Amino acid sequence: MAPFKLPPAVRNILRRDPSVARLNSKSLLSVSGSQAPEFLHGILSSAVPTSTRPFFSAILNAQGRVLYDLFVFSDHSTNGRPAYVLEYDSHSSNTPSLHDLLKRYVLRAKVKIKDVSQEYDSWAAWGSEKDTEWDAQRDWLFAESHAIEPVWPPTKEWPWGSQEHIIRDRRAIGMGHRLLVRKGDQPPQASDHDGVPQDAYDLHRILHGVPEGHVDIVPNVAFPMDSNLDVMGAVDFRKGCYVGQELTVRTYHKGVIRKRTIPVLIQPSAHKSSELEDIHEEFGPNIDIKPSSATGGSGSQLRGSGKLLSNSHGIGLALLRTEQVEGVASGSLELNLTSESGASCSVKPWWPEWWPQRRL
């Protein structure tokens, strides 16, 4: 897509210096015990490493729709048994709490589950030049269904890191680290990173095309590949049985992925200047994004609508049909939404710079 200039309001918020933010919207569960790895392996959509190491994953329902996306930190155990801390988006909805959901699966497994949200805070740190030592371009595996998987060389170190309470955020290039810090303490990065609010982190991940939490990945509604969980390394299509595996693997082998979650620019439809306006209106999530023909878009491109997800200052994430994204790029299609105030706005999607490309 054509280059664009970020609105001044976004340029003022976008952090180019090393930054660290406490994430107040997160909850934490400790899962420990001699059978903790096997227990999590049967529930999570990604494989649990044989040794206690951190990773990114998700929990699906029986129909293959996402309940939670989560980071899994390695933790220490006083008795030498495996221990993890699960970081997830805390919200009130019809979705069962993660604590209750895991308790339902325990049965006779030798596992202890404990809420530790009052013991730790979640933090995100990004922008350090040191991250470039490990956060480089990677290889990808492309399926005929359009599923995409990162390929981690087995001879190299574990991609998500090996330290307790620290995760290399490999969901997208440039995301930095995820940290667990004792409640009330500051992370070590606070000494040489700028402290910023969670809004700055949210804008950072939106610009990198990273959906996160219940606004972007709607519980019991979102499919993992529509939410880029395959690209972000949260789905293992070759592991053994887990909840939701059947439909997920069937889609990988026999289906076609027609939607993706990508960044969008939102501008007033009447705005014609090359310099984008600041958008001060906050758009609620789940607003319909509707296609219209610009120069003869095909009938198939005009079918269906997209959904606006999390957004700020005219930048957001949207769940869109990929053929409609291609139609906007070719100039044959336009995307628009109507705000809650009744204003008509144009929506311009773009693929993040890190997005996987097939090598010819």
Per-residue pLDDT reduced to its tens digit, 198-238: 999 999 999 999 999 999 999 999 999 999 999 999 999 99
Give the number of C-alpha atoms closer than 13 A to the C-alpha of residue 41, restricted to the C-beta side: 16
Residue 117 token pair: 């949200």
3-state secondary structure 209-224: CCCCHHHHCCCCCCCC
Q: What is the CA radius of gyration of the chain?
A: 21
Given a cut of 90, whether residue 171 has pLDDT beyond it is yes
Strands of 238-281, DSSP E: 259-268
For the segment 238-256, what is each residue's pLDDT rounded down to a tens digit? 988 899 999 999 999 999 9
Cβ neighbours, 10 Å, residue 353: 11
DSSP string computed for 37-72:
HHHHHTTBSSPPPSSS--EEEEEE-TTS-EEEEEEE
Beta strands 19-23 and 194-195, pairing class: parallel
Given a cut of 60, whether residue 3 has pLDDT beyond it is no
- What does the pLDDT read at residue 59? 97
- For 18, list phi and psi in degrees, rounded to 5: -55, 130
Q: What is the mean pLDDT of the chain?
A: 89
Given a cut of 50, whether residue 360 has pLDDT beyond it is no
Number of H helices, E strands in the chain: 7, 18
Residue 151, helix vs strand vs coil:
strand
CB 35 within 8 A of CB 112: no
- What does the pLDDT read at residue 162? 92
For the segment 81-122, what is each residue's pLDDT rounded down to a tens digit? 899 999 999 876 667 899 999 999 998 889 999 999 999 999
For the segment 302-320, what is each residue's pLDDT rounded down to a tens digit? 788 999 999 988 899 999 9
- Rounded (10°) CA dihedral 306, 311, 317, 319: -20
Q: Bigger pLDDT: 181 or 313?
A: 181
The mean pLDDT value for 24-41 works out to 94
pLDDT tier for residue 13 given thresholds of 50, 70 and 90: low
Given a cut of 90, whether residue 80 has pLDDT beyond it is no
Angstrom distance (rounded) from CA 242 to CA 58: 11
Give the number of C-alpha atoms closer than 13 A to the C-alpha of residue 113, restricted to the C-beta side: 18
CB 193 within 8 A of CB 20: yes
Which range, of 134-148, 167-181, 264-278, averages the lowest pLDDT?
A: 264-278
- What does the pLDDT read at residue 298? 58
Q: Bigger pLDDT: 138 or 74?
A: 74
Beta strands 259-268 and 288-293, pairing class: unpaired
